[in-house]
Amino acid sequence: MSASSWSPGRPLRVALLGCGVVGTEVARLLTSDSEELAQRVGAPLELAGIAVRRLGRERDLDVPAELFTTDAAGLVARGDIDVVIEVIGGIEPARELILSALDHGASVVTANKALLAEDGATLFEAAHKAERDLYFEAAVAGAIPIVRPLRESLAGDRVQRVLGIVNGTTNFILDAMTTTGQGFSEALDEAQRLGYAEADPTADIEGFDAASKAAILAGLAFHTRVTIGDVHREGISDVTAADVRSAAEMGCVVKLLAICEQRETPDGPAVSARVHPAMIPLSHPLASVHGAYNAVFVESEAAGQLMFYGPGAGGAPTASAVLGDVVSVARNRRSNVFGPGESTHAQLEVLDIGLARTRYHVSIDVDDRAGVLASVANAFAEFDVSIRTVRQEGSGDDAQLVIVTHEADDAALSATVASLRGLDMVRDVTSVMRVEGGS
C-alpha cells in the first residue's frame, strides 16, 4: 500500500471514475456543497480528478478543465487519493480500477451492481487486505437506504425475507399496463419515449438488472455469498394484458419482484433468490408502488415488517446515495478505521428454483367438452399440487380454465404444466404466474 495515512490539516482527496448522468451529479454536489460536506466529515473533500472516456465532450459542470483525464488507471494509482468513486459500471475496466485503488490505499464507493453480483468476493477480499472501505449503497435501489439497514441496522436481527421492486423501468411498464390497459409493447414504447427505458431495454425487461440487485440483497440479508448465477431470473416480456386483467379479477396487480428468503430444509436453513413477475394482493404494501419508483419490503424476526420506498434511479437520487457513502468512508479515513466488510459467516446453501414454494395462477386453453376438468384436476393431483380455485371462462373454441393453486414446489408445478400440455383436450397452457404476498 503506497498511500500515506491521512493527517489533520489536509483535505481528503476524492477521485471520480465516470462522469455520466450520475457522475456529473456527484461532481456537482461535491463542489456546490463542499462547505457543508466538510462540516459533516470534519475535513474538506477535494475533488482531485475525474476520469472520462473523451475529454472534449460538453458537460454541464463547473469544475476546472484540468481535473479531467482519460487515464483512469493513473488516477487511482497516484497514491495520494483517499476515496475513489466508481460510477462507470460494467465488469471491466471497473474491477481492475477498484482493485488498483484499494491496493494503492484508497477506500472505494461504487454503484456497480453488476460487478458486485458477479465478483463481489474479490473486491471484498481486496478491501479487507488493504484495510479500506468498500461501500455500495447506490448499487441497489438508487436513493433508497437499504444496503446500510441490512448491513448494519439489522445486523443483530434475523432477516427472514426480502421482497423488492428494484427496477424502475419494469415497474413503470407493468403499472402502465395495469392503469391504462396497454399491452407490453405499447407500455415499453411509452417508457422509452419518457426516458424511463433505454434504447436497448434488455437488461431491465429481462430481469438482469433486478437479478444483480437480488444477489446483493440476499448476500446481505442472509450472511451468505450469493452471485447473480445463483439467482433464478425471468423478465416481463411475456406478461400480457390478459395476465394483468386476471390479476385484477383476483384483487391483485402484477409486479416484477426480487425475492430473497431463508427457508428450512431437511439439511438445515438455506437461501432462495429469484426474480420474476408475480401477482401480489392490492393489500400488500408493494402493490401501491407506482411509476418508476422502487420499494423493498423486509421481514425480520424481531423488527417485524419494514418498508423502504423511494426513487430507484436517476442522477440526483443515485448521487445522494453515493455522497452518503463518501461521507461515511471519509469519516472512517479521518479516524483511521474502516467499516463492515463482507459477512458470509452463515455460508448457507443457495437453493435451486425447483425447491422454491409459492402459489400459482395457471391459464389453460381447453376443449369445451365433458371430462376436461377432471383430467386437468388429475394432472395437478399427480404431482401433489393442490388446487385452491378454478373457474371457466368462455365456451367453445374460446374455453379457458383459470386455476389458482395452494403453495407448491416450483418443480412440482413445472411437472404439472408439462403433463397438462400432453393432454389431448388441452390446446395450450397460455400463462403461468406466481402469486406472492398473501395466504
CA nearest to 283, candidates 260, 320, 251: 251
Residue 341 in domain? no
61 shares a domain with 44: yes
| Cα(302)–Cα(160) distance, integer angstroms | 10
Ramachandran assignment for 201, one of left (phi > 0), alpha (psi -120 to 50 degrees), beta (any other): alpha
Residue 3 in domain? no
| Cα(138)–Cα(154) distance, integer angstroms | 18
274 shares a domain with 365: no
**Which residue of the set 95, 104, 213, 255 is catalytic?**
213
Q: Is 90 known to sit in a ligand binding site?
A: no
127 shares a domain with 164: no
282 shares a domain with 204: yes
CA nearest to 164, candidates 185, 178, 150: 150
Q: Domain span at residue 228?
A: 146-311
| pLDDT, mean of residues 213-233 | 97
Residue 6 in domain? no
Ramachandran assignment for 79, one of left (phi > 0), alpha (psi -120 to 50 degrees), beta (any other): left
* pLDDT, tens digit, 9 for 90 and up, residues 376-419: 999 999 999 999 999 988 888 888 999 999 999 999 999 999 99
CA nearest to 387, candidates 423, 435, 344, 326: 435
Q: Is 113 known to sit in a ligand binding site?
A: yes
| pLDDT, mean of residues 281-287 | 95
191 shares a domain with 73: no
Residue 92 in domain? yes
Q: How many residues does the chain have?
A: 439
Q: Is 20 known to sit in a ligand binding site?
A: yes
CATH number of the domain enclosing 429: 3.30.70.260
- How many domains does the chain fold into? 3
Q: What percent of the chain has pLDDT over 70?
A: 98
160 shares a domain with 106: no
* pLDDT, tens digit, 9 for 90 and up, residues 183-220: 999 999 999 999 899 999 999 999 999 999 999 999 99
227 shares a domain with 270: yes
161 shares a domain with 297: yes
359 shares a domain with 419: yes
267 shares a domain with 150: yes
Q: Residue 257: what pLDDT?
A: 98
201 shares a domain with 138: no
Q: Specify the DSSP element, H or E, that contains 192.
A: helix 184-193
Confidence of residue 162 (pLDDT cuts 50, 70, 90): very high
Residue 273 in domain? yes
Residue 5 in domain? no
279 shares a domain with 258: yes
Question: Alpha carbon 133 to chain centroid distance?
Answer: 22
Q: Is 255 known to sit in a ligand binding site?
A: no
Q: Is 22 known to sit in a ligand binding site?
A: yes
Q: Residue 384: what pLDDT?
A: 97
| pLDDT, mean of residues 260-268 | 93
Q: Residue 127: what pLDDT?
A: 97
Q: What is the mean pLDDT of the chain?
A: 94
Active site residue 129: no
Amino acid occupying residue 321: A
